[in-house]
Amino acid sequence: MCGGKLTGSTGELLDPDLQRSYICSWHYSYEDVENNLNSQYNTMVIQANVNNPSIKKSCRFSEPRLTIKSIIMENLSITRTICGGNKDETYRLPSNIMDLTAVRNKDKDLNFHLKWKLQPCGGVVYVSEEIINVLNLTSNNNVSIDCAWVLVAPTNSKIEIKLEGEFQLECSNEFIQISQGTGQLTTIIGDYCKDRIPQNPLVTAYKYTFVEYHSSAKNNTKLKLIVKTATSQCGGILTKHERQFSSPNFPKNYMKNQECIWEIKAEIGNRVSLQFIERFVIEDTPNCTKDALIIYDWKDNMYTEVAKLCGRRLPPAYNSTYSQMKVVFRTDSEINLDGFRARWSSICGGIYEATEKEQILYSPDYNNGYLPSLRCEYRFSATGNRIELKFLTFDIEGTYPLCEYDNVTLTAHSKYDYIDQVYCGQELPPPLKNVDEVQMVLSTDRYSSRKGFKLSYSIYTCGGKVSNNSHIIKFDKYERDLNCTWIIQAPVNKIVVLRFDYIDLESNPIATTITLQFTTD
């Protein structure tokens, strides 16, 4: 079937079996659904699998693609377009109207399987001074639920979003995501679940804010998502659309007894560079105990204070470790001065200290395609320890080993080895283990880009304490210069039985040995 009308509160659609070019369109409307549903069904959850041979990161006009468009309100619609490779996507759309368009050209196939289901929640929320609980859900015992809302802010107003209550399920089974705007590549400004609870209300100045909620079955949630217009019109979430901010009333005197909180969020894989411009005049006291500007860096899943500023001297630039930074401005009831103005920009690269806990790093704008003409320099170290670095995904323009367009250069050294290699393409570079320091450079040209990379880094460890049945060690190939110690302790009234399933060591006993030492209490 190439086009037509879709009906039913649930349904599915397969690509047309046509061995030719086509443009097929389908329309779905709640008005065509049986009367046993009511107007509370304002969310459509859509699961789509699309498979086509393209590897382009963007949907060019000639590429096979599936487009989903949903009318939300007058002058506002949401569009999601899928193309390139094999993709499984889930979309929550705050509407019960949907238009689908599939485009296939004669040279490239388009295979897709789409399922939809109406949900008893979601829609459009017009925010005002009155408190509204967005998560006003019906009982959810037997089925999972997916909801979506668009929050509409009054003109020239900011809105405040506050989470109350507790998540009942683990993060993969229950979460809330809040995005700035309704576009396909919008920035997520709130990502909440059982392990990620916001400390403060979220304030945003965007006209449209997109909220999504997912919960698995058998969950009677006690969560509330409270929204209202913000009483203080300073502070808020700053993304790539808002690059400057200032104290209230700048360059005139700021007001007394204020607290303004700005959270700066760069795109994934980028860092925040904060610079102060024009004047900086904040009441000067020892340790900035009265009026103060406080800067926090996001690291290890929490904010850490890095500077507390006051006085009349223009501060230096501050760079975040990852993609977030928080700035807090507090004033007391006494002296009020000119204040400050600041701007921020996105930078890449950085210096990273490895820990025993595995940490994740992304290339700039990961998944959406890195920018042209980049040179991002990274350095990984672990004071007094060795490093392990491995790529989890890798998609850099170019053909290995030439890599003449975009590339990643890895330089590392250990006691016996020196590594200096250039990588590109889609094959994962080999992991680096037991090295002293790693330097990495991402270079891109002015033209095409790809998805980028995702990597993990940590302190390289071997050995440890074993107190239950397990395989202690399995090396496909052991590294040089290792010294690993395992302490094996049996439970009370038990003994240790150690069995070697396989041993393949260098024949020189001075170079490589296994030493067993037994003790009794």
C-alpha dist (Å) from residue 300 to 167, 319, 354: 22, 16, 12
DSSP string, 91-140: EEES-SEEEEEEEE-SSS--EEEEEEEEES--EEEE--SS-EES--PPP-
Contact 361, 355 (CB under 8 A): no
**pLDDT at residue 473, as a whole number:** 62
CATH code of 291's domain = 2.60.120.290
Question: Is 143 in the same domain as 109?
Answer: no
Number of neighbours of residue 476 by Cβ within 10 angstroms: 4
**pLDDT at residue 110, as a whole number:** 84
Distance (Å, whole) CA 220 – CA 235:
34
Across the chain, mean pLDDT equals 87
Question: Is 95 in the same domain as 151?
Answer: no
Contact 104, 25 (CB under 8 A): no
**pLDDT at residue 33, as a whole number:** 57
Report the relative pairing of strands 464-466 and 486-488 from DSSP bridges.
parallel
Nearest-10 Cα torsion for 365, 370, 375, 376 = 30
Question: Is 331 in the same domain as 357?
Answer: no
What's the whole-number mean pLDDT along residues 178-198? 86
**pLDDT at residue 299, as a whole number:** 86
Question: Is 67 in the same domain as 173?
Answer: no
Number of domains in the chain: 4
What's the whole-number mean pLDDT along residues 203-224? 87
Last residue of a domain, one of 67, 93, 119: 119
One-letter amino acid identity for 268?
Answer: I
Distance (Å, whole) CA 235 – CA 247:
9
pLDDT over 90 percentage in the chain? 54
pLDDT surpassing 80 at residue 236: yes
Question: Is 312 in the same domain as 369?
Answer: no
Q: What is the pLDDT of residues 66-88, one digit of tens each?
A: 999 998 988 899 999 888 667 78
**Which residue range is the domain that position 88 belongs to?**
4-119
Nearest-10 Cα torsion for 198, 200, 201, 205 = -100
Q: What global pTM score does this model have? A: 0.70
What's the whole-number mean pLDDT along residues 344-349? 95
Q: What is the pLDDT of residues 360-418, one digit of tens each?
A: 999 999 988 899 999 999 999 998 888 999 999 999 999 999 999 999 999 998 877 88
Distance (Å, whole) CA 93 – CA 67:
13
Q: What is the pLDDT of residues 104-161, one digit of tens each?
A: 887 778 888 999 999 989 999 999 999 999 988 766 567 889 999 999 999 888 899 9
In sequence order, which ranges of 363-434 are alpha helices (DSSP H)?
none
**pLDDT at residue 131, as a whole number:** 94
Question: Is 267 in the same domain as 216?
Answer: no
What's the whole-number mean pLDDT along residues 55-59? 57
